[in-house]
Chains A and B, each alone.
Chain A
C-alpha cells in the first residue's frame, strides 16, 4: 500500500478536477450523465478519504502523514508539500463528505437558472480548493488553494443567487481578496525575515519563536490575522457573510458555512499560531476580545432577523466567535475545543442551511413572519429543524455542546502570557471573556428556539393553508442522514474526534507552554 500513501493526498485534492473536466466535456443536454459523473467523482474522492482514514496512524496523530514533498517552483523556493495530521484529517473528511451530500441534495433542487453542468463543475472546483487548503504544507501552495475557492463561490452566488446576488458576490470577493492580499504579503515577509528562507510550513513551525524577532512577528501576525479573520469571519470583518449567505443558493450556503469559514480558523491554527507564536501571544487578548464581541453581536443580530437564512448566517458569526475564543486561549484544551467546534459547526449549520433551503423551496419564502406550523404541514422537516436548532444551541448529548462548552471553559485558564488587556495578567481578561461568552450561549438558545417557534410551531398562516407542502423526500433523507448521525455520534462520543486532534494540537501549543 506504499503507492497509496504516496498518492493519497494528491488524489484527494485532484480527483475532483478530473471530474470537473469530465463534467465539462459532457454536452449540456445529457443532464443525467452530468449528475452521475459529478456524484461518482465526489464519491471516489470520498473513497480516497476513507482510505486515508483507514491507513492513518492514530497513535501518531501529531505527526504529518501521507507526506508528499516535491519541487514545485524552485525559483521562489516553493515546494509541492502535502501532509496531514490530526488537525487536518477531520476537516478534510468533513469537506469530502459535505461535497457528496451537496451533490446528492442538488440532484432535484437546481436553483434558477438551472444549468446543472456549470453548478456541479463549480462545486467540484470548490472541493479542489477546500481539500487542498487542508493538506497544503507550503505557504504558497496554501495560498493558491485558499484563493481557489473564491472563483467558484463567486459564480455560485452571482449566477444562482437571490435578488441581491450581484452585490453580495462582489462584496464577498472584494473582502476576501483584500484579506488574502495582506496574507500573501505576510507570507512573503515570513520568507524574507526568517533565517531559513523557506515557505515550508513544517520547517517554519519547528523554528517557531526562534525564527523571527518578536517585533516583526507581531507585525506579520497582524497581516495574517486580517486575512484569516475576514474569512472566519470575525467581528468587525463579518459584514460580507450575511449577504453572501442570504443570496447564495442552498448548496452554496451549505459549503460556505460548513467548510469555507473553517479555512480561516484552520489558517490560524496551522499557520499563524505555530509560525508566529510571539505574535500570537501579543495579539491573543485582542483576538479573544473580538471573539466575544462576535459572540454577543452575532447573537443580538440573530434576534433582529426576519429572514431564516440571514438568522442562521449571523448565528455562524456567533458560533465562530466561540471557535476563535478557544484559539485565543492558546491552550491545548482551547484549541481542541476550537477544532471540535469547527467540525460540529460544519455538520450543524450545514444541516440548518439545508433545511432552510428546503423550507424556501416549499414555501417560496424565508420570511419567518409568513411561516409557521411546519410541524403540522411537514412534521419530519419540522423535527429535523428542531433537532438542528437544539444541536446548534449546544444541547448536551449533541455535537454542538462539545464545541461550545469546552471553548468557554478553556477561557478559565488561558496560556500564561506576559500581559493581559485590562490587567497585568491575562487570566482576568479571559475570565471576563468566559462570562460574556457564557451569556452568549443563553442568547443562542434564545434566538434558535425563537426561530424554531416561529417556523415550526403554531398554526399554518392562511396564505399557505391550502398549499401542498410535501415532507422530507428521499434525496433529502440521503443528504441529511449522515449529518444527523454524525451530530449524535459526536455528541455522545466526543473522544472520537478529540483523540485525533489532541496529538497534533499539543504540537502547536508547545510554543505557549501548554
Chain B
C-alpha cells in the first residue's frame, strides 16, 4: 500500500527542492549570468513562504507517514520563521560571496539544502525523520564552514565542526537506538506513551545520550568548544547562519523531542537540561567577557543565549500550561532577529576595516553613525535592555521559571538573573568603544565605504523586528501562543 501524500502540506519543501535543483542547473549551464543564482535562491525561499501561509490560513492539523510528519501550527510557525531567517541569511551572503574568490552557485545550493533540513525538522515527529533533518541541516554547513579554502583558519573551522558533528550524531544515534529498543517505536507519540509507564534505568541512559547529541548541535556547555573556533574561521555570513538558523534547528529538535517524546519522564531529562542551561549561561558569559575579537565574543554570547533558551525547557516539566514552551519559541524568534542584526552590522563594518577585532569598532559612532546606531540597538537587545525585544525574551523566560515555582527552577532563575547583569558588561563594552572612543587609524582606510543594499535591508529588517517586538511584544507572543494551539 502506498502511503497517501498530502501535496499541499509538503508544498514548502517541494518549492524549495525545486529551487535547489534549478539553482544547480542554472549555475552549471548559464555561467555567464552569475547574478541569477542568488536571485533565484531568494525567490525560491520567498516562494516557499506562500504555501506556509496558505497552510496556516487553512489551519487544520495534517499528519502523514504514520505520525512521523505532522504539519500543525507548531510546524508552520517554525517553517515560516526558518524561511524568513533563510531570506535574511541570503541577504547577508550576497556581497561577501560575490566579493570573495569563492564558488557562488554551490554556496547557495548548500545553504538552501540546509534550509530544507530546517523545514523538515519543524514537522518531524519521529526519531528517524528528526535525525535525517538534523543531518540535512548539518552536512551542507560542514562544507560552508570551510568555504574560504585558502584560509587555514577556515579549514580548521570546517574540520573541527565536521568531526564534532559526526561524533555528536553517533552519540545521538546510539541513544535513539536504545530508545527504539525499549519503546519499540520511533514515533514520538509512541515514545511518549511508553515514557508514562514505569521505565527501566536504561531509558534514562538513552535519554541522556540523545540529549548529549543535541547539546553538541546547540553548542551547550560543556559540549561547546567547537563553536568559537568554527565561528571565527568560517566566512561571516556562514557564521551567522550557524549561530542563528542551524542553532535554532537544534533547539527545535530538542523542543520537539522533549515536548512530544520524553516529556512524561521529567526526572530523566530535567536535571540534564538544568545543568546544560546553568553551565552554558555562566561559562558562556565568563568567556565572552575576555574576548578581544567580535566574532568570538558573539560566539560565546550565543552560547550564553543558548543557555537562556534552555532555562524554560529545563523547568518545563513543572509548568502547568504552555508558558515554558511559549518562552522557548519566543526566545528563539527574538534571538534570531537580534543576532542576525548584529552579524549584519559586523559584516558591514568588516567589509571596510577587514578586521573583526573589537578594537576596530572604536569610534564607529563618528565614522559610520548608522551602523553604530543599529549595532548598539542589537547589542542592547541582546543584553535585554528595554525597549528592545531582548527584554521580552528574558521576561518570558523568567515567567516560566516562576510558573514552575520549584526550588530548582528558582535557583536556575537566580543564575539567569545574575548572568544577564554580567552579559550586559561585555555587550556594552562594544557600545562604549563605538561611541566613547576615538576612531583608530585603521578604521578609516580599507575597503568600500558604501554599505550594499542587501546588507542594509537585512539590518533594517532585523531592527524593525527588534523594535516592534520590544514595544509591542504581543506580535511575537502571539506566534508563541499559536504554535501550541491545536488546529
Contacts and interface: CB of A to CB of B under 8 A. Distances in A.
Contacts of B473: 73, 75
Contact of B402 (A151, A159, A166, A189): A189
A246 B342 CA distance: 33
A148 interface: yes
14 contacts: A72-B472, A75-B474, A76-B396, A151-B380, A151-B385, A158-B436, A159-B435, A159-B436, A174-B421, A174-B424, A181-B420, A185-B398, A185-B413, A185-B417
A57 interface: no
B61 interface: no
Given A158-B436, A174-B425, A144 B387 contact: yes
Most buried by B among A144, A148, A169, A191: A144
Interface stretch (B195-203, B302-310, B476-484): B476-484
Nearest to A125: B387
Given A73-B474, A76-B396, A184-B398, A177 B435 contact: no
B403 interface: yes
A173 interface: yes
Interface string B8-43: 000000000000000000000000000000000000
B102 interface: no
B103 interface: no
A192 interface: yes
Contact of A75 (B365, B402, B421, B481): B481
Nearest to A191: B402
Nearest to A161: B436
Which interface class (under 10, 10 to 19, 20 to 34, 35 or more) fits B?
20 to 34
Give the secondary structure class of B's interface: helix
Contacts of B391: 144, 147
A188 B403 CA distance: 10
A283 interface: no
Which interface class (under 10, 10 to 19, 20 to 34, 35 or more) fits A?
20 to 34
Contact of A184 (B395, B424, B480): B395
Contacts of A143: 386
A144 B405 CA distance: 24
A188 to B, nearest CB: 5
A144 B386 contact: yes
B436 A165 contact: yes
A72 B421 CA distance: 27
A148 B386 CA distance: 6
Most buried by A among B326, B387, B391, B403: B387
B167 interface: no
Closest 5 CB pairs of A and B: A75-B477, A147-B386, A144-B386, A192-B402, A158-B436
A158 B432 contact: yes
Given A76-B477, A144-B391, A147-B385, A170 B432 contact: yes
B428 interface: yes
A182 B414 CA distance: 10
Interface of B: 326, 365, 380, 385-387, 391-392, 395-396, 398-399, 402-403, 405, 413, 417, 420-421, 424-425, 428, 432, 435-436, 472-474, 477-478, 480-481
Most buried by A among B326, B395, B417, B421: B395
Contacts of B395: 76, 140, 184
Given A151-B380, A192-B405, 11 more contacts: A72-B472, A73-B473, A74-B474, A74-B477, A75-B473, A75-B478, A76-B399, A151-B385, A166-B436, A170-B432, A188-B402
Given A75-B477, A185-B398, A178 B432 contact: no
Interface in A336-383: none
Nearest to A117: B369
Interface in A62-101: 71-76
B363 to A, nearest CB: 11
A477 B74 CA distance: 63
A43 to B, nearest CB: 25
Contacts of B417: 181-182, 185
B477 A177 contact: no
A480 interface: no
A374 to B, nearest CB: 33
A185 B395 CA distance: 9
Nearest to B470: A144
Contacts of B481: 75
Contacts of B480: 75
Given A73-B473, A75-B478, A173-B428, A181 B402 contact: no
A9 B420 CA distance: 33
A224 interface: no
Contacts of B396: 75-76
A170 B427 CA distance: 12
A155 interface: yes
A72 B387 CA distance: 14
A73 B477 contact: yes
Contacts of A140: 395
A150 interface: yes
Nearest to B366: A113
B329 to A, nearest CB: 11
A181 B402 CA distance: 14
Nearest to A173: B428
Contacts of A72: 472, 474
A159 to B, nearest CB: 6
Contacts of A169: 432, 436
Contacts of A144: 386-387, 391
Interface string A178-220: 1001101100110110000000000000000000000000000
A173 B385 CA distance: 11
A346 B391 CA distance: 30
Contacts of B392: 73
A148 B474 contact: no
Contacts of A174: 421, 424-425
A228 to B, nearest CB: 17
A155 B474 CA distance: 29
B180 to A, nearest CB: 37
B385 to A, nearest CB: 7
B472 to A, nearest CB: 8
B460 to A, nearest CB: 14
A188 B424 contact: no
A177 B477 CA distance: 24
A155 to B, nearest CB: 7
A188 B385 contact: no
Contacts of B421: 174, 177-178, 181
Contacts of B387: 144, 147-148
A155 B435 contact: yes
Contact of A170 (B399, B403, B428): B428
A75 B424 contact: no
A17 to B, nearest CB: 10
A151 B432 CA distance: 12
A140 B417 CA distance: 17
